[in-house]
Amino acid sequence: MTEARPPSTVLFDLDGTFADTLPDLSHALGRAMAEQNLPPVPAHVLRPVVSRGARAMARQACGEALDDDALDGLVAHFLSFYGAAVCEHTRLIDGMQSVLDELHRRAIPWGIVTNKRREYSEPLMSALDPLGRAACIVSGDSTANAKPHPQPLLHACKLLGSAPAHCVYVGDAENDVVAARRAGMRSMVALYGYIAPEDDPRGWRADSTIDAPGGLLVWIDAH
């Protein structure tokens, strides 16, 4: 059981929770699809599967039009285009900057734990967090296992010198909640994130849900 006390550390998922990365992801995928004369797909079609990674996005976009080998090629081109422009149109989620400023004012350290690989997450965070306030950035290849394994979250705690029971992890996927639970920390679902219409985030057994980033501060104040 996690200890009922205010969190001393806040950890965020990246895509959909911390930043709206979909514009750059969908643009890069669109360029890769155009190379193969495949029709473009609206960003809203891709939104529900962003948390599942590049291959899931590519499959969502092209359906069964490509076999597995062709899909692998599409994903490689997609990621190449994305790596060259990770923060052209990506922005912090509305209201997130105010939350980060308040966490800084309160001397509450925060960090990022994402399944996005380091080659994309680190330049993206350099653009989104120019003052370098993030106390850690744990990427999908920072540890041997990615979420929903608890290792990335535990690694973040080790980097920050914080006990898992004193952390809260904010994410927009069930795997985020599972990883937090396995790590022994509290979890919060960002209902504003990249959640599929058929998903039931209120059934993920998270400790809390928020409709906007500012809800995190309300929750901290209540604990």
Supply 201's token pair. Answer: 């985030």
> What is d(CA 98, CA 197) in angstroms, rounded to the nearest whole number?
28
> Taking CA 201 as the corner, what is the angle to CA 19 and CA 169, rounded to the nearest 5 degrees?
50
Beta bridge partners of 113: 138
Length of the chain: 223
Taking the CA atoms of 92, 146, 81 and 119 in sequence, report the sign of the dihedral they define. positive
Q: Which of 118, 111, 113, 35 is nearest to 83 (CA)?
A: 118
> What is d(CA 162, CA 5) in angstroms, rounded to the nearest whole number?
14
Annotated catalytic, 13?
A: yes
Of the residues 13, 20, 24, 172, only one is catalytic, namely: 13
Strand order in 9-12's β-sheet? 137-138, 110-113, 9-12, 167-171, 186-190, 208-210
3-state helix, strand, coil in the chain (%, to 5): 45, 15, 40
Question: Any idea which residues carry the catalytic annotation?
Answer: 13
